[in-house]
Structure 1
Amino acid sequence: MQNNISSDNLKYYQEQDKENILKLRAVIDTLPKFCREYFLSIANSKAARTRLGYAYDIRTFFEFLHEQNPTLNKLNIRDFTLNVLDQVTREDIDEYLDYISLYDHEGRELSNELVGKKRKAAAVRSMFNYFFKMDKISHNAPSKIEMPKLKEKPIIRLEPNEIVEMLDVVEEGDKLTDKQKIYHNKTRIRDVAIITLLLGTGIRVSECVGIDLNDLDFENCGISIHRKGGKDSVIYFGDEVRDALMAYLAERNLIVPITGHEKALFLSLQNRRISVRAVENLVKKYAKNVTSLKKITPHKLRSTYGTNLYRETGDIYLVADVLGHSDINTTRKHYADQSDENRRRAARIVRLRENN
């Protein structure tokens, strides 16, 4: 059954899905024709954004083969056949991973560290696995290599005193440059609401920018959001978040948004729905006045909330539920590890001399 939904009635995440699907179709049209079958096979199990990422990464792989192989170099990538996958060796995959460390794409120099290599290798492996399981190829070279191993990085978050300092900077703007203060006078109330919301609920930046006016429920102090993975959920907020949102709404109700952005809660200075990039930039702007040693992003504010919630409750399942994690191991990995705090406590416990 078809759903006839006009663009005016689409939610933010639906608009993003629509854009990603159109981009995905455009990228698939540049890939070997057999790739369409693979992408159809994952259409119901992977989000549009994930499939688009796979398409970009798989395209990079075929561009590598086209560039490095003298026989394939004579063909258009669209004309590659499945036989090409059967001819790929383990050495080819190793060379590909080395290639993407630093390569040229349409005149731009691009590079990948371990995280990027692992993502690109996973996309290629997924495609090979599909055709191997369908008995359409007899060799599966990517399955023979070890995925790049990532080093565990310490969780970066704001300490309680840094949270207070950051909120002060957002509210007062004292540490901003003269140019930044000009914009701050126009966006202060909005920015306070955004930063307070991120710190007070732990929602993702995409969830934040996707909030519509009718998603707010002040009677129950809740916000309806669309979670990563496609689940709709209600998250609840405390008094500090409520006060910041209500102060912003008083200002927001006086703004006339441009056509198509009337439903959006948070607006840019151009009176359109604020973008993920804009929120990332404003977080960076305020955070660098608080700490120069930590690279604070909206996701780090999410980590800050998760850590504080775990410290207060000790309930890892509650933290997972509130943050919208589908796998409890993800939560445990990030928030149950209090090794740094334990090491600090150990330093205070041991006494070399008794106090007189």
Structure 2
Amino acid sequence: MNLSTYYDELTAKLTIKLRELLKTLPPFAKDFFRAIDSTTQVRTRIAYAYDLRVFFHFLIDQNPVYRNYSITDFKVSDLDKIESVDLEEYMEYLKIYVSDENHQHMQNTEQGVFRKISSLRSFYGYFYKRQMIEKNPTLLIDMPKIREKEIIRLEPDEIASLLDFVEHCGDHLTGQRRVYYEKTKERDLAIITLLLGTGIRVSELVGLNLEDIDFKSNGLHLIRKGRKEMTIYFGNEVADALEQYINGSRSHIIPREGHENALFYSMQRKRIGVQAVQNLVKKYAQEVTPLKKITPHKLRSTYGTSLYEETDDIYLVAEVLGHSDVNTTRKHYAAMSDTRRRQAANKVILREHPDHIKNKK
């Protein structure tokens, strides 16, 4: 299976999932999803579908007019019956509500509320633009304010500690735990080194095939968002970790049918998944930096911030990370780094040392 085939199959699975989700929405919603098909990725449309389903369940649960509705009873004309005050109540509802899918309490952060209101605004905007509804109350409410989050990244000493830990944490293990560690050590070290050394997305990493690596040029062939093909380059540390894994533990794996060309394998001898990579990064990182919640995306942030600090070239960082808008890159990576803030720690003296006071007398 080549890289293109992998993404084709993944897109097909996600498309089938989206079609099933659309069956749980009002029939007229299909018009909206058909309209955005060429301008959005299927994962984005799935997220829209989940968000909109929450909105219609809110109306059924909280609005007496729709108490006896099922979600497929809604018509496009019902959108015109919603006032801005209803949407303000919806924003309050989103902070905590009971999921219709698993009947568990769900909580949204500011970002979660913002995304769901953005989805609803796009939904309303489509039907308003096409004059299928007479008003758009989503334009009359204030969007939730998003507080800027500090970029969580690893410092250089933490990077070294993480890689050392992956390489040697099994030295004192025994029995089955030692066996498992030895089976996965080279793979895990290659994965974490690759994430730290290139800043690729975890979705890009799991889609890699063996033939996507060119050790002659230290190049990595990727299919990025929007099916854009691109070659990025890696340094010798990444090359060493990849070669050690490929020539070592990977060469002993007999892959399952259909997974023969995958670069990274799970213990089931299948192409490794996103969740498995997230779990292994979390497992190692929490032992080295317990106060930081490190994910594959945080390793991407670490690479992006380090590259910007080394080159001071925001356009290079944007290109390597695969950002379509350099403003996205500037927002995330051109801020003052944690390293500089740490320099302020000992600049303000709260209380002079007693010995220093004696000397002054």
TM-score by length of 1: 0.92
Is this contact kept in 1: 2:165–2:284, CA < 8 A?
yes
Task: Give unmatched runs, 5+ long, in structure 2.
Answer: 357-361
Cα displacement string for residues 79-114 of structure 1 (whole angstroms, at most 9, x for unaligned residues): 211111000111111111111211112422111111
Query: Could you tell me the percent identity over the aligned residues?
Result: 51
Shift of the 260–176 alpha-carbon distance from structure 1 to 2, 3 Å rule, reads: farther
Deviation readout 1:120-141 (Å, 9 max, x if unpaired): 1111110000000101101111
Superposition deviation, residue 344 in structure 1 = 3.8
The aligned counterpart of 1:130 is 126
Determine the C-alpha separation between the residues in 1 that align with 2:171 and 2:99: 40
Per-residue CA deviations over 1:142-188 (Å, capped at 9, x if unaligned) read 11111111111111111111111100011111588767544212100
Aligned equivalent of 2:201: 204
Is 1:294 matched up with 2:292? Answer: yes
Query: What is residue 18 of structure 2 aligned with on the other side?
Result: 24
Q: Are 1:173 and 1:181, in contact at CA under 8 Å, matched by a contact in 2?
A: no
1:243-268 CA-to-partner distances (Å, cap 9, x unmatched) read 11111111323211111111211000
Stretch of structure 1 that moved more, 269-278 or 73-82: 73-82
Residue 220 (str. 1) matches residue 217 (str. 2): yes
Q: Structure 1 residue aligned with 2:136, among 133, 140, 144? A: 140
Q: How far apart, in 2, do the equivalents of 1:322 and 1:88 lie? A: 45
Amino acid at match of 2:307: L
Residue 340 of structure 1 and its aligned partner are, at CA, apart by 3.9
Aligned residues: 348
Residue 236 (1) aligns with residue 247 (2): no
Is 2:38 aligned against 1:37?
A: no
The CA RMSD measured in Å over matched residues stands at 2.2
Paired residue type of 1:286:
Y
**TM-score between the two structures when normalised by the length of structure 2:** 0.91
Say if 2:2 and 2:209, in contact at 8 Å, map to a contact too.
no
Letter in 1 for 2:160: V
Alignment of 1:71-90 (within 5 A): 71-90=65-84
Paired residue type of 2:93: Y
CA distance in 2, matches of 1:62, 1:56: 10
Q: Given the alignment of the two structures, is residue 109 of structure 1 paired with residue 105 of structure 2, yes or no?
A: yes
* In 1: Cα distance, 2:160 partner to 2:310 partner: 18
Write out the 4+ residue segments of structure 1 that deviate beyond 3 Å after TM superposition.
7-10, 174-182, 339-353
Change (3 A) 1:180 1:115: farther
**What is the letter of the counterpart of residue 148 of structure 1?**
P
Q: Tell me the secondary structure at the aligned position of residue 106 of structure 2.
A: strand
How do residues 122-201 of structure 1 correspond to structure 2 at under 5 angstroms?
122-174=118-170, 181-201=178-198
Picking from 240, 243, 246, the partner of 1:249 is 246
The question of whether the paired residues in 1 share the 8 Å contact of 2:2 and 2:261 is answered with no
Secondary structure at 1:282's aligned position in 2?
helix
Instruction: Give the AA of the match of 1:15.
Output: E
Contact 2:3 2:208 in 1 (8 A): no
Closer/same/farther in 2, CA of residues 177 and 329 from structure 1, 3 Å limit: farther
TM-aligned CA distance change 1:73 to 1:298, over 3 Å:
same
1:260 and 2:258 aligned: yes
Deviation at 1:30, TM superposition (A): 1.4
On the 8 A contact 2:3/2:209 being kept in 1, the answer is: no
Counterpart of 1:31, as a letter, is L
Question: For the Cα contact (< 8 Å) 2:114–2:143, is it kept in 1?
Answer: yes
Offset, 1:213: 1.3
Looking at structure 2, the residues matched to 193 and 342 of structure 1 have their Cα atoms a distance apart, in angstroms, of: 30
Instruction: Pick closer, same or farther for the CA change 1:67–1:226 going to 2, 3 Å.
Output: same
